[in-house]
């Protein structure tokens, strides 16, 4: 464990700390952002007598964070920000999370705990394949690794041949990636005759996408590694909200930094432990963008708040099952059909009927956009694919079709088709 005392705090002590930090977070918001403070009008931090009083506070949604672009809900003076990360939005407006110096330190701390939970020590070589940029993955792993003293291979995404070469040449023992990437690695290794059993790889830390237990088993078998499921999102301060431990009996959430609740996604009512619903997160130690009752839209349940066999007392969540709404996620990127539509329809040659087909092909995310067009020009197809990549951050296959080729239906148009290709 990276911080054994904190990670094994008796629940009573942990809850005391949570209440103290919850009050401090409210005070921090009230003192730093009058607009944000309006949400809690008539309430003083001291009015929260115990954690169940959290229910008196309103939820905050991703749409509200997006509307706050760029800094309307930020809770520190601009000169205290050292950087921001962002997540994609519905209309091209992203959610911005500005980090103070203390936020970066908080992130490093929770990531160091995650890496330690995944058995990493200073003797490990961690190859970081998420990007080092606006999205949060790469930096999060990097900060955590620095804390525990791993040797970092900060390669970032893509360049799979180089990834394989580095795994071999630098003796990589642990791989950090979005959960579909190992599949690509396995595929390329096979095609290149690269023997994955002859590497020092022993651990994979994967997340950012919902990945099934079946895929997980496949990856573990093919790479000969133990995998750890890591969660976290830009809104809450990036990757590292929690991770499973060697017991693999749920994802430990760092509860001294985050308060978690499960609510009914329809009514917002709190659900008892064990029941499946939407994960709601309150940050307890963030400065730049503290969140009170953030509706994550992730569907999960609390497995236990009791002590795990690993010794940690931090609550455990079931692996994320999916999202509450129609948001689509491909190759680690969240998006809405409407964003695709906006890109398509900005071209006069394109007709309004389209169909997004998504699914899994050989275990990997697959997206195809069928669209009717006045011209079936190859250059238009390429341009659309390039725009989708530039605006949304993933590669999609665009198929141009003559008018009338996409089946019409009565009532609401079907814009998304989910395929289960094997
Ligand atoms: Zn555990």
Enter the tokens of residue 220: 């573990």
Whether the predicted pLDDT of 250 surpasses 80: yes
pLDDT band at 412 (very low <50, low <70, confident <90, very high): low
What mean pLDDT do residues 84-109 have? 89
Specify whether the backbone of 44 is left (phi greater than 0), alpha (psi in -120 to 50) or beta: beta
pLDDT tens across 30-76, in order? 999 999 999 999 899 999 999 999 999 999 999 999 999 999 999 99
Distance, CA 74 to ligand 1 centroid (Å)?
34
* Same fold across 4-325 and 329-420: no
Distance 266 CA to ligand 1 centre (A): 31
Report pLDDT for 334. 75
CA angle, 268 then 270 then 273, to 5°: 140
Cα of 136 to ligand 1 centre, how many Å? 25
Taking the centre of ligand 1 as the mean of its atom positions, its distance from the CA of residue 56, in whole angstroms, is: 31
On the question of pLDDT at 135 being above 70, the answer is yes
Q: How far is the CA of 304 from the centre of ligand 1 (A)?
A: 10
What distance in angstroms lies between residue 151's CA and the mean position of ligand 1's atoms?
Answer: 25
**Would you state the CATH architecture of domain 4-325?**
3-Layer(aba) Sandwich (3.40)
CB 236 within 8 Å of CB 283: yes
The share of the chain scoring above pLDDT 70, in percent, equals 96
- What is the secondary structure of 108-138 as a DSSP string? HHHHHHHHHHTT--TT-EEEE-S-SSSSSHH
For residue 93, the CA-to-ligand 1 centroid distance in Å is 38
Place of tokens 């491909």: 330
Tokens of 268: 């917002």
Domain boundaries, the chain: 4-325, 329-420
d(CA 178, CA 194): 21
Cα–ligand 1 centroid distance for 117 (angstroms): 8
Ligand 1 centre from 3 Cα, in Å?
14
The mean pLDDT value for 260-269 works out to 94
Question: Is residue 210's pLDDT more than 80?
Answer: no
Per CATH, the homologous superfamily of domain 329-420 is ANL, C-terminal domain (3.30.300.30)
pLDDT band, very low/low/confident/very high, at 422 (cuts 50, 70, 90)? very low
pLDDT band for 215, please (50, 70, 90 cuts): confident
Segment among 5-19, 213-227, 315-329 with least mean pLDDT: 315-329
User: Mean pLDDT over residues 279-299, rounded?
Assistant: 96
Q: Which of 46-55, 317-326, 410-419: highest mean pLDDT?
A: 46-55
Average pLDDT over the chain reads 92
Cα 297 to ligand 1 centroid, rounded to whole Å: 25
User: What's the pLDDT at 162?
Assistant: 96
**Ligand 1 center to 306 CA (angstroms):** 10
Contacts for 246 with CB less than 8 Å, ≥ 6 apart: 117, 119, 226, 310
Q: How confident is the model at residue 410 (pLDDT cuts 50, 70, 90)?
A: low
Q: How far is the CA of 7 from the centre of ligand 1 (A)?
A: 10
Choice among 7-11, 122-126, 139-143, 332-336 with the minimum mean pLDDT: 332-336
CA of 309 to the centre of ligand 1 (A): 6
Q: Given a cut of 80, is residue 323 above it in pLDDT?
A: no
């Amino acid at each position: 464990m990276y911080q054994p005392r904190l990670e094994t705090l008796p629940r009573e002590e942990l809850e005391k700390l949570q209440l103290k930090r919850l009050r401090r977070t409210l005070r921090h918001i009230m003192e730093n952002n009058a607009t944000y403070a309006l949400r809690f009008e008539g309430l003083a931090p001291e009015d929260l007598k115990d954690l169940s009083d959290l229910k008196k506070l309103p939820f905050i949604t991703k749409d509200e964070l997006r509307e706050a672009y760029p800094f309307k809900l930020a809770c520190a003076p601009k000169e205290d920000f050292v950087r921001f990360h962002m997540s994609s939005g519905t209309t091209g407006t992203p959610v911005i999370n500005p980090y103070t110096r203390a936020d970066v330190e908080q992130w490093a701390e929770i990531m160091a705990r995650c890496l330690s939970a995944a058995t990493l020590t200073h003797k490990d070589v961690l190859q970081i394949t998420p990007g080092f940029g606006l999205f949060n993955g790469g930096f999060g792993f990097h900060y955590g690794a620095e804390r525990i003293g791993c040797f970092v291979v900060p390669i970032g995404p893509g360049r799979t041949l180089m990834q394989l070469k580095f795994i071999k040449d630098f003796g990589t023992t642990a791989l950090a990636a979005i959960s579909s990437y190992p599949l690509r690695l396995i595929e390329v290794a096979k095609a290149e005759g690269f023997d994955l059993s002859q590497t020092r790889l022993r651990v994979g830390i994967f997340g950012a996408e919902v990945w099934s237990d079946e895929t997980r088993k496949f990856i573990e078998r093919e790479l000969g590694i133990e995998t750890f499921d890591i969660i976290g999102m830009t809104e809450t301060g990036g990757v590292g909200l929690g991770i499973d431990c060697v017991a693999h009996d749920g994802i430990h959430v760092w509860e001294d930094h985050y308060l978690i609740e499960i609510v009914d996604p329809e009514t917002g009512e709190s659900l008892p432990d064990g029941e499946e619903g939407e994960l709601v997160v309150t940050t307890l130690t963030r400065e730049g963008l503290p969140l009170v009752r953030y509706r994550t839209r992730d569907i999960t349940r609390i497995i236990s708040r009791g002590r795990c066999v690993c010794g940690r007392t931090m609550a455990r969540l079931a692996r994320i099952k999916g999202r509450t709404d129609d948001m689509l996620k491909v190759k680690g990127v969240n998006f809405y059909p409407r964003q695709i539509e906006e890109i398509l329809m900005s071209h006069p040659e394109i007709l309004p009927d389209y169909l997004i087909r998504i699914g899994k092909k050989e275990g990997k995310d697959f997206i195809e956009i069928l669209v009717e067009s006045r011209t079936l020009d190859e250059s238009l197809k390429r341009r659309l694919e390039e725009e989708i990549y530039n605006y949304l951050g993933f590669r999609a296959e665009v198929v141009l079709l003559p008018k009338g080729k996409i089946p019409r239906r009565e009532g609401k148009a079907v814009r998304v088709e989910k395929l289960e290709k094997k």
